[in-house]
Amino acid sequence: MQNSGKSAFGLDANVAAGLAYIPVCFVHLVVAIAILITDKTNKLARFHAVQSLILTVLMIASYIVTFILVMIIMVVAGAMNMPGLMFVSFLVYAVFFILVIGLFVMLVISCIKAFQGQIFKIPVIGGMADKWSN
């Protein structure tokens, strides 16, 4: 596969790869999916599109899991009449906040590297994205 040339919407490969990370009004989802559907030869754009989609899925899944855990803890605390247990839900949100900050930092770094035309593999996600983008 090549790392240069035009990609989805007639954009340069690095611009398309960078736009796959910018989460404004779900534009990144549209661009990433369009790259995967239309571009079969450009390795840079496909890799960053897949990595962006995996990051988005991780953020959404972590929010859903956090929401469910907090609701369960609140129901249990209310049923057992233990307001001190509500502090555990705060800890769950604190862990979620740290996770989201980490994912956001990875998103920004990946976006910058994509606009520079480089492939930056996020530690666990990058290997999966590399395998799935071929």
- Percent helix, strand and coil across the chain, each rounded to 5? 75, 5, 20
Is the pLDDT assigned to residue 3 strictly greater than 70?
A: no
- What is the model's pTM? 0.84
CA–CA dist 110, 118 (Å, integer): 9
Work out whether the CA dihedral 38, 129, 19, 26 comes out positive or negative: positive
Q: Is residue 2 part of a domain?
A: no
Percent of the residues in the chain that have a pLDDT greater than 90, as a whole number = 48
Provide the residue range defining the domain that includes 117.
8-132
Asked if residue 2 has pLDDT above 70, the reply is no
Q: How many domains does the chain have?
A: 1
pLDDT score recorded for residue 23: 84
Would residue 53 count as lying in a domain?
yes
User: CA-CA distance, 120 to 76, in Å (whole number)?
Assistant: 43
The pLDDT of residue 96 = 92
